[in-house]
Structure 1
């Protein structure tokens, strides 16, 4: 029996991961701040192998309730997928610092803290952690300063944690997707913390969440350490390192709508 805990499971990539894990026979503990949608998703999958615990992933008390549910309902935890995330679309110079704090809390602090709290269970099962990062953690994306900072922090934290957990037999996969067709962008924050009112700019192809979920689980099953699913974004990250001035010119042209006017 494989027990999988997925955060941000009600929509987008989290929901596609939940569907795929359920289809392969996993027992699931799903959490999301959108309680109504989460309950509907769990009803769709059926209660036999699924439990829902809605809540704010930045709340440490929710972390404890999730881990208690893993032990009490399923007796173990084999796979923790840190998927919950939030973004913003706003120039750094015009953004309320509260937006940056919120993005950092959801995208970095919450997955780091939940993973550390889950380590006793993961050590018992010699389990696995999946952290959903972003190519924005590797290269600057205009209008996403807080998101880039949070995903960069997430990547560095889990890269270090992987090495520290090696002797415990706990495996760790970092996923670096680019632009996906998910609700994270539809719910992006604006400069004042309310929903962003302008369309997003993108680089490369906008990928389907189901496609991303399949690649992620395949990489986890193969015990890979990193997944760069989008070749175009990976090449863009190389351009940023090798020719940063050219990268900035291209980015500024592509993301003109994100710049202050």
Structure 2
């Protein structure tokens, strides 16, 4: 397996590359790229094609930093976050799609429970995740209508125990986080099996359905999980 890794910070790309090699990848390349710059998605795909010769999988799993707090009416931050969390996904997919079409490849889009249910303190973040669901679900339809055998897998994740997430929610949200390694495995399995959607942990799917059936009760339960006095 040949892997191409992109991250804003070179030292993180290097760590991911080392882990991929440890897990058995034959060749790993990395590039530092800021997805807030609209020029970079196309550049990243072009670099990957030059080194790999083609693409089988495109895994979109980057996010911009955003505070876990009440919306402060900062529309500029929302606009910036849309570029990083949504538009760059679209730009990467657009640049890669001709080559994924040739290989009958797969697009794997990492989203969140916040892309199914909007929650407090995540207004801008939730907006980007809902946008991902709308765009890539529509794209899946269009690929099928054109008889292009490119799968689109949407991954809806619950609370994951990354360091940045744990620091943000400390003292605010009463919820059990789940291991990042397990979520990564679920994402890989979803992409490999060309699943339409995957939910991790399993209850994310159930919670989404319950919110559709009982929205007011579900909203109250969500608010009760927050330590907020007003």
TM-score bracket for this pair, using the shorter chain length: 0.7 to 0.9
Partner of 2:155: 175
Assess if the C-alpha contact under 8 Å between 2:109 and 2:154 holds in 1. Answer: yes
Report the TM-score when normalising by structure 1: 0.78
CA displacement at 1:179 relative to structure 2: 0.5
Correspondence for 1:109: 87
Native 8 Å contact 1:173 1:226 kept in 2: yes
The TM-score normalised by the length of structure 2 is 0.87
Cα pair 1:58 1:109 within 8 Å, conserved: no
CA RMSD of aligned residues (A): 2.3
1:135 equivalenced with 2:107 (yes/no): no
1:153 Cα deviation (Å)? 0.6
Which one of 65, 80, 88 corresponds to residue 67 of structure 2? Answer: 88
2: CA distance, partners of 1:148 / 1:45:
30
Maintained 8 Å contact 2:33/2:44: no
Q: Distance in 1 between matches of 2:36 and 2:55?
A: 20
Change (3 A) 1:230 1:139: same
Q: Which residue does the alignment assign to 1:219?
A: 190
How has the CA–CA distance of structure 1 residues 178 and 116 changed in structure 2, closer, same or farther, with 3 Å as cutoff? same
What's 1:12 paired with? none
Can you give the 5+ residue segments of structure 2 that lack an aligned partner in the other structure?
none
> What's 2:32 paired with?
54
Which residue pairs with 2:9 in the alignment? 34
1:162 aligns with 2:140: yes
CA distance in 2, matches of 1:48, 1:122: 21
Cα distance in 2 between the residues matched to 1:100 and 1:244: 26
The answer for the alignment partner of 1:5 in structure 2 is none
Counterpart CA distance in 2 for 1:177 and 1:68 is 29
Measure, in 1, the Cα distance between the counterparts of 2:174 and 2:56.
35
Q: Determine if the alignment matches structure 1 residue 245 to structure 2 residue 224.
A: no
- Number of equivalences: 224
* 1:223–1:42 distance in 2 versus 1, CA, 3 Å: closer
Question: Counterpart of 2:3 in 1: which secondary structure?
Answer: strand
Q: What is the rounded CA distance, in whole Å, between the counterparts of 2:90 and 2:223 in structure 1?
A: 32
Q: Equivalents in 1 of 2:2, 2:69: separation in Å?
A: 39
List gaps (5 residues or longer) in structure 1: 1-25, 189-195
Q: Secondary structure at the match of 1:131?
A: strand
Pair 1:81–1:202, CA change in 2 (3 A): farther
Equivalent residue number for residue 201 of structure 1: 173
Q: Which structure carries more relative contact order (alpha carbon 8 Å, separation 6+)?
A: 1
Given that residues 38 and 52 in structure 1 are in contact (C-alpha distance below 8 angstroms), is that contact kept between their aligned partners in structure 2? Answer: yes
The offset of 1:124, in angstroms, is 1.4
CA contact (8 A) 1:88 1:147 kept: no
